[in-house]
Amino acid sequence: MENKERQKEQILRTSGVNVLKCMRCGKCSGTCPSYDEMEYHPHQFVYMVERGEIEPLLNSKSIYKCLSCFACVERCPRGVEPAKIVEAIRLEVIRKQGANHLKPNQIPELLDEDLPQQAIVTAFRKYSK
């Protein structure tokens, strides 16, 4: 099995998502609060994983823009769960790097009074694994 296929299988196994259920309606991306900040949107993550195009996703800053709010999961009429795909790709990057993108002790210096509390909780959840 070539590396591209191996990466795809790892992402699918980690996420537990069946990407073949996606009908590409875009409702997940339409409800994403980080849409404007992302290079790749939730529906694109699903489609790219389905096609085995993992490398661009691994190198994208979009994986750190996802809030893990699961709005995309709630909106999907087919139960595809794009946020789990994003999380699986983020974990793959962490495994490759051997370290997190952001350390929990770095978060306080990034805070400001306009930052939603959800972002703080999400950051601790994401980056302390």
DSSP labels, 38-52: -SS-HHHHHHHHHHT
Whether the predicted pLDDT of 128 surpasses 80: no
Query: Which pLDDT band holds residue 22 (cuts at 50, 70, 90)?
Result: very high
Average pLDDT over every residue of 72-82: 95
Average pLDDT over every residue of 6-33: 95
Cα dihedral value 61, 121, 86, 12, nearest 10 = 150
Whether the predicted pLDDT of 106 surpasses 60: yes
Please report where in the chains the tokens 């993992």 appear, as a residue.
54
Whether the predicted pLDDT of 67 surpasses 70: yes
Whether residue 45 contacts residue 89, with contact meaning beta carbons closer than 8 Å, is answered with yes
Nearest to 76 by CA among 17, 28, 31: 28
